């Protein structure tokens, strides 16, 4: 078994560190599940960094996206986690998607899109509806720039509508979330290993 697979949690919470974050909790649970399949993981909160608006790999003037991008390119699996706000992904998540758009014109030494052979897991958390809608956006957007989305890889939790309970405040992980997390991790690790052993063909 390949011991060298890595994962990166990109946490798109609106809460800067060290504030507690439900998105961080669920994202870290996905990393823990991936660790059971010999995938080592690390994470970052995008809101802690200065990510300039734009669709280039480097917008200059203190833009910290190049450092984030380097970590994305180094990882085999991207865990893309966002909270739900007004039924949508966070503005931070949208900023990341916009910056990833630049990868459409980046290719490897075989002329393939640079994000080919990388796998993504969409993670959505919130105490309002919108998870399926956001998952659809993340799945298409990440797939468009080159990531492969494993079968049944979306992980989400919605709290009861119009209530104030956050995921981070739950006494235990709901069975459905734990099951979805385990499936996503298992399928993502499997797919990442397949793609590393037999990459997508060049033109």
- What would the pLDDT profile of 73-85 be if each residue is shown by its tens digit? 999 999 999 999 9
Domain span at 83 = 6-197
Residue 26 class from Cβ within 10 Å (0-12 exposed, 13-18 middle, 19+ buried)? buried
* CATH number for the domain that contains residue 163: 3.40.50.360
What confidence tens digit (pLDDT) does each residue in 100-118 have? 999 999 999 999 999 999 9
Whether 1 maps to a domain, the answer reads no
How many CB atoms sit inside 10 A of residue 24's CB?
22
For the cut 60, the answer to whether the pLDDT of residue 1 exceeds it is no
Q: How far apart are CA 14 and CA 92, in angstroms?
A: 7
Q: Tokens standing for 103? A: 């990868």
> Running DSSP on this structure, what letter comes out for residue 148?
B
In a domain, 82, yes or no: yes
| Alpha-carbon torsion angle 66, 70, 75, 81, nearest 10 | -10
- Helix ranges (H only) for 79-153 are 91-100, 131-145
Domain annotation covers residue 116 = yes
Mean pLDDT of 45-61: 97
pTM, full prediction: 0.96
Q: How confident is the model at residue 3 (pLDDT cuts 50, 70, 90)?
A: low
What pLDDT shows up at residue 109? 92
Judge whether 74 lies within some domain: yes
Q: Is residue 202 part of a domain?
A: no
Number of domains the chain is built from: 1
Which spans in the chain are helix H? 22-35, 65-74, 91-100, 131-145, 175-197
């Amino acid at each position: 078994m390949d011991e060298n697979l890595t994962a990166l949690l990109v946490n798109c919470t609106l809460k800067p560190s060290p504030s507690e974050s439900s998105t961080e909790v669920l994202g870290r649970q996905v990393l823990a599940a991936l660790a059971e399949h010999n995938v080592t993981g690390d994470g970052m909160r995008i809101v802690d960094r200065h990510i300039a608006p734009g669709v280039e790999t480097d917008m200059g003037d203190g833009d910290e996206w190049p450092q984030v991008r380097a970590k994305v390119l180094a990882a085999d699996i991207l865990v893309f986690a966002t909270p739900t706000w007004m039924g949508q992904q966070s503005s931070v998540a949208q900023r990341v998607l916009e910056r990833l758009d630049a990868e459409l014109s980046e290719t490897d030494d075989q002329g393939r899109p640079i994000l080919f052979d990388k796998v993504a897991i969409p993670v959505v958390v919130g105490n309002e509806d919108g998870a399926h809608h956001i998952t659809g956006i993340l799945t298409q957007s990440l797939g468009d720039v080159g990531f492969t989305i494993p079968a049944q890889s979306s992980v989400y939790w919605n709290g009861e509508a119009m209530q104030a309970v956050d995921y981070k405040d739950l006494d235990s992980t709901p069975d459905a979330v734990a099951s979805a997390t385990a499936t996503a991790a298992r399928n993502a690790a499997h797919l990442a290993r397949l793609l590393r052993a037999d990459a997508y063909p060049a033109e």
